[in-house]
Amino acid sequence: MFQRIFIALLSTLLSACSMSPHSEQAIISFYDYQLYSPQLTPVELQTLSDDINQADIILIGEWHTHAGIHRFQSDFLKQRLQQQRPVTLSMEQFSRDKQAVVDRYLAGEIGEQVLIKQGAAWPNYESDYRPLIELAKSHNADIIAANAPRAIVRCIGRQGLSYLDTLDSQQRQWVAAQIDDSESPYKEKFMASMHHGTLEQTTRQYAAQVTWDETMADSIVTYLQHHPSVQIVHIAGKFHTEQGLGIKASILKRNPNLKVVVITPGSLTSISTSLKQDYWLDVLEPPARYVSEENRQAAYRHIGQTNNDSDCQ
């Protein structure tokens, strides 16, 4: 009897030990994740594919504030920083005009509260992006403040790309020199995703969206021109990265020889054949933002009432 109990207990313990936090498992909480290859085979961070190891740029899409995705980003960056190849972190969450502030923080010249205030850090910085910044800092890795300033992008969304002609040379450098808002699969996807406003309004909003993508891509490609041996891990919202559209397409327009890998979050139950080219990060999807159409429209009306052109002159 004792022997049978001992064997059963030993079997249970061995089974528990074999299930590491990152092994293939049921995704039941917003802290869980599992990475899959484009062929939907599980991928462990300790044994990443040559596809990822040899990439020049790895784009990790996110739902902002998603705990499981942010946990994966930290685990993934930690693994990358342990390799011999130098790694640079690139972020949507800081804009080009704040690069000097980010550099000063990495150099230990300012504290975190100054970084948050002067760097215009996102409201969820301390909970979601601090781990990435501190990992990079502890390994003396560079961080690219890749995005276009929000104030400029907001005005493009209200007035169109013609707003760029009103900027002086200092302001203009914070946005990519070339911004392509012509017809493309990405533009089709964006226009189809918008369910409010006129065609003219939506077209201007797309100009703002693609300004983000082009500027982030330009920041990354420019950095690689000066640091060609580095692997870049870039963090951005999933719409900017998935399906090889947005940032990836903008990168390859600038340098088609670069190898770019995309990791897209989502639930395996909703996987699309159009995403098979991406690596897949299985996580719980966020709850619906609105159930009632009345509540959705009320939110859009509030946004419209708070936006005006008075600060875009």
CATH of the domain at 158: 3.40.50.11550
Q: Would residue 195 count as lying in a domain?
A: yes
Phi, psi of 5 (to 5 degrees): -65, -45
pTM of the model: 0.88
Query: What is the chain's pLDDT, residue by residue, as a tens digit (313 residues)?
Result: 434 433 443 343 333 333 333 445 689 999 999 999 998 999 999 999 999 999 999 999 999 999 999 999 999 999 999 999 999 999 999 999 999 999 999 999 999 999 999 999 999 999 999 999 999 999 999 999 999 999 999 999 999 999 999 999 999 999 999 999 999 999 999 999 887 778 899 999 999 999 999 999 999 999 999 999 999 999 999 999 999 999 999 999 999 999 999 999 998 877 665 556 899 999 999 998 888 777 766 766 555 545 565 678 6
**Residues 117, 120: Cα–Cα separation, whole Å:** 5
**Residues 276, 40: Cα–Cα separation, whole Å:** 8
Q: Would residue 9 count as lying in a domain?
A: no
Q: Would residue 163 count as lying in a domain?
A: yes
Report how far apart, in Å, the C-alpha atoms of 215 and of each of 97, 136, 292 are.
12, 22, 36
Q: Would residue 34 count as lying in a domain?
A: no
Q: Would residue 8 count as lying in a domain?
A: no
CA-based Rg of the chain, rounded to a whole angstrom?
A: 21
Q: Would residue 153 count as lying in a domain?
A: yes
Note down the domain range covering 110: 51-300
Q: How many domains does the chain have?
A: 1
Q: Please, are residues 96 and 146 in contact by the beta-carbon 8 Å criterion?
A: yes
Q: Would residue 10 count as lying in a domain?
A: no
Q: Would residue 13 count as lying in a domain?
A: no
